[in-house]
Structure formats: structure tokens, C-alpha cells
């Protein structure tokens, strides 16, 4: 969560002003953070969670066990639908921990946030 908070401080979100940091834990112990990065062409903006997943995968991580999310609003928020799907690819058993700026923390299983998910097994 400390890494997620630090990543939130690096978010580039001049349009929404909604700052999000995420930090992934890989099965080899590595922690890989990411922040949301917006764009003047709004639709090209990228969420913190997907920034972190693409970074982790690029670094060779293939099994992700947990993700910490720190957003700038008061209460904990959960990854958007697109991010849930991308997280699923490398971590169907993943635990998602979210902390609001107010300090309250909650935990969910990704499988509960994305029931009946489509994933690699469907293409096997
Ligand atoms: N955002 C994230 O980074 N993660 C989420 O789970 C929800 C939304 C970002 C996208 C955009 O930069 C801003 O928050 C407002 O939607």
C-alpha cells in the first residue's frame, strides 16, 4: 500500500483530478507500481491498475498475487471493469486491497469483483 500511495503522488491526472496509484505483488516477491496517466485526447487515458499490469508483464511477471489501490477520494474504490479483466489475465486468485484517502482499507477477491470471467482457460 505504501508503494500504491507513492504511485498516486506521481499520477498525471490534470483533467479528472482523480489520482490513483496501484502496486502489484508478483509471486516472486517483486512489487510493481503504476499510476493513472491521462491524455488531452481523453479516451486515451490509462488507469493505474493497467499501467501497473503492463509494466509487470513487461518485466517478466506472469503470476500476480495481490494489488493495492490508493485513490484520491475519501472512501476505497474498486478497479474499473476494464482493469478487472486485465488483472484477471495474470491473477485470477488475486486479492485486491483498496484504501481511501481517509485511511479506511477494504479487501476483495478479484474473482468476486469479476464473476464468471472470460480468461486464458476459455481459449485452451
Ligand atoms: N482510474 C484509475 O486509474 N483506476 C480506476 O480503477 C478507476 C479510474 C482513473 C482513470 C482516470 O484517469 C481517472 O481515474 C478518472 O476516471
Per-residue pLDDT, 53: 98
pLDDT tens, position by position, 55-90: 999 999 999 999 999 999 999 999 999 999 999 999
- Residue with CA nearest ligand 1 atom 5: 79
Catalytic residue selected from 3, 38, 49, 99: 49
Using the mean position of ligand 1's atoms as its centre, give its distance from the Cα of residue 55 in Å.
17
Per-residue pLDDT, 91: 97
Per-residue pLDDT, 87: 98
* pTM > 0.85: yes or no: yes
User: What is the CB neighbour count within 10 angstroms for residue 75?
Assistant: 12
Residue with cell 499490469: 53
Q: Ligand 1, closest atom to CA 47?
A: 3
Q: Is the CB of 57 under 6 A from ligand 1?
A: no
Task: Name the stretches of the chain with pLDDT < 70.
Answer: none
Q: Is residue 74 among the annotated active site residues?
A: no
Per-residue pLDDT, 54: 98
According to DSSP, the β-strands at 95-99 and 64-71 are parallel
Q: Ligand 1, closest atom to CA 20?
A: 3
User: What is the CB neighbour count within 10 angstroms for residue 112?
Assistant: 8
Amino acid at each position: 500500500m505504501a508503494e500504491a500511495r507513492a504511485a498516486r503522488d506521481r499520477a498525471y491526472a490534470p483533467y479528472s483530478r482523480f489520482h490513483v496509484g496501484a502496486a502489484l505483488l508478483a509471486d516472486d516477491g517483486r512489487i510493481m507500481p503504476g499510476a493513472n496517466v491521462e491524455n488531452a485526447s481523453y479516451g486515451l487515458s490509462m488507469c493505474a491498475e493497467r499501467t501497473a499490469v503492463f509494466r509487470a508483464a513487461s518485466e517478466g511477471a506472469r503470476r500476480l498475487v495481490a494489488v493495492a489501490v490508493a485513490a484520491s477520494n475519501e472512501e476505497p474504490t474498486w478497479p474499473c471493469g476494464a482493469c478487472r479483466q486485465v488483472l484477471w489475465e495474470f491473477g485470477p486468485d488475486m486479492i485486491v486491497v483498496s484504501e481511501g484517502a481517509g485511511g479506511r482499507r477494504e479487501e476483495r477477491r478479484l474473482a468476486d469483483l469479476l464473476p464468471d470471467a472470460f480468461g486464458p482457460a476459455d481459449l485452451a
